[in-house]
Amino acid sequence: MKEIFERVSVRNYTDQPVEREKIEDLLRAAMCAPSSGNERPWHFLVLEQKEKFLPITQISPHVEMLREAQCAILVCADTTQKKYRFDFWPQDCSAALENLLIEAKHLGLGAVWCGIYPDEEKIRALRTLYGLPDHVEVLAVVPIGYPAYERQVKDRFHSERVHIGDWQHVLTPGTSYVTPQYEEEC
Ligand SMILES: Cc1cc2nc3c(=O)[nH]c(=O)nc-3n(C[C@H](O)[C@H](O)[C@H](O)COP(=O)(O)O)c2cc1C
């Protein structure tokens, strides 16, 4: 699937608005993600007007690209959906967010994952700004728009990160899994 291999963070956008149909596609893709115990704790706050999402630049120093974005989606979790002893909402919502980013690429859109969780201060500020209840967490904000330019994508396969059978058997840098050559590592 070429979109996985070609996805990159996009932080510069044109003035072209993002169609509602495409926003719905993004949300549908996100909600197809796997989740622990099928909890599906995700909620998405869609912000289409600049005056709605620009205040986030006052909360996080890393979201300046919102100034150019055409819309933004806040990826949230309802923690009352918790079924097990552990919190799995960050993993569940991360899977949903990755689906959203890949679908954005597929639709010709550009987007970037801007982390909020686990910064409690930022989460509290977003709760106040958007009226989120206390049991709602915020994983990230995703600025979205049409890319202002295309970024070249590099091959990111690092064979030395692949261990086969046990930790010591590592693929030699620059080789492939198809015909494995090992570099012993301790
Ligand atoms: C948990 C997480 C938090 C991130 N937060 C930000 C952020 O606040 N601002 C930003 O510009 N990019 C953010 N990014 C995007 C990363 O910088 C980006 O994915 C990384 O540099 C790799 O580049 P690529 O997405 O183009 O492959 C975040 C990514 C992740 C997974």
Give the model confidence (pLDDT) of 44-94 as tens digits: 999 999 999 999 999 999 999 999 999 999 999 999 978 888 899 999 999
Which whole number is the average pLDDT over 97-119?
98
Domain boundaries, the chain: 2-145, 158-186
Q: Could you tell me the sign of the dihedral formed by the alpha carbons of 173, 174, 178, 180, in that order?
A: negative
CATH top-level class for 2-145?
alpha beta
pLDDT at 184 over 70: no
For the chain, the C-alpha Rg in angstroms (whole number) is 19
Which whole number is the average pLDDT over 119-136?
98
Beta carbons of 28 and 96 less than 8 angstroms apart? no
- Tell me the one-letter amino acid at 44: F
For residue 95, what pLDDT is reported?
Answer: 98
Is residue 112 lining ligand 1, measured as CB closer than 6 Å?
Answer: yes
Instruction: Please state, as a whole number, how many other Cβ atoms lie within 10 Å of the Cβ of residue 169.
Output: 14
Is residue 62 lining ligand 1, measured as CB closer than 6 Å?
Answer: yes
Beta carbons of 97 and 139 less than 8 angstroms apart? yes
The token duo for 5 is 């291999």
Distance 113 CA to ligand 1 centre (A): 5
Listed in order, strand segments (DSSP E) in the chain are 42-47, 71-78, 110-111, 114-115, 136-145, 169-171, 182-184
**What digits encode the pLDDT tens for the residues 157-167?**
999 999 999 99
pTM for the model: 0.96
Distance 8 CA to ligand 1 centre (A): 9
Instruction: Please state, as a whole number, how many other Cβ atoms lie within 10 Å of the Cβ of residue 84.
Output: 9
CA dist., res. 174 & res. 154, Å (int): 14
pLDDT at 185 over 70: no
Q: What are phi and psi of 49, to 5 degrees?
A: -100, 140
Is residue 64 lining ligand 1, measured as CB closer than 6 Å?
Answer: no
Q: How many CA atoms lie within 13 A of 175 on its CB side?
A: 15
Long-range contact pairs involving 31-34 (C-beta distance under 8 Å, separation at least 24): 31/96, 32/99, 33/92, 33/95, 33/96, 33/98, 33/99, 34/92, 34/95
Which whole number is the average pLDDT over 125-144?
98
Instruction: Please state, as a whole number, how many other Cβ atoms lie within 10 Å of the Cβ of residue 25.
Output: 17
- From the alpha carbon of 10, which atom of ligand 1 is closest? 26
Which whole number is the average pLDDT over 175-183?
86
**What digits encode the pLDDT tens for the residues 13-42?**
999 999 999 999 999 999 999 999 999 999
Choose which residue among 101, 112, 117, 119 to substitute to test ligand 1 binding: the one with the highest number of ligand atoms within 8 A of its C-beta: 112
For residue 166, what pLDDT is reported?
Answer: 93
Is residue 135 lining ligand 1, measured as CB closer than 6 Å?
Answer: no
Distance 118 CA to ligand 1 centre (A): 15
Which whole number is the average pLDDT over 104-129?
98
Q: Which residue, judged by its Cα, is nearest atom 21 of ligand 1?
A: 9
Choose which residue among 4, 10, 113, 158 to substitute to test ligand 1 binding: the one with the highest number of ligand atoms within 8 A of its C-beta: 113
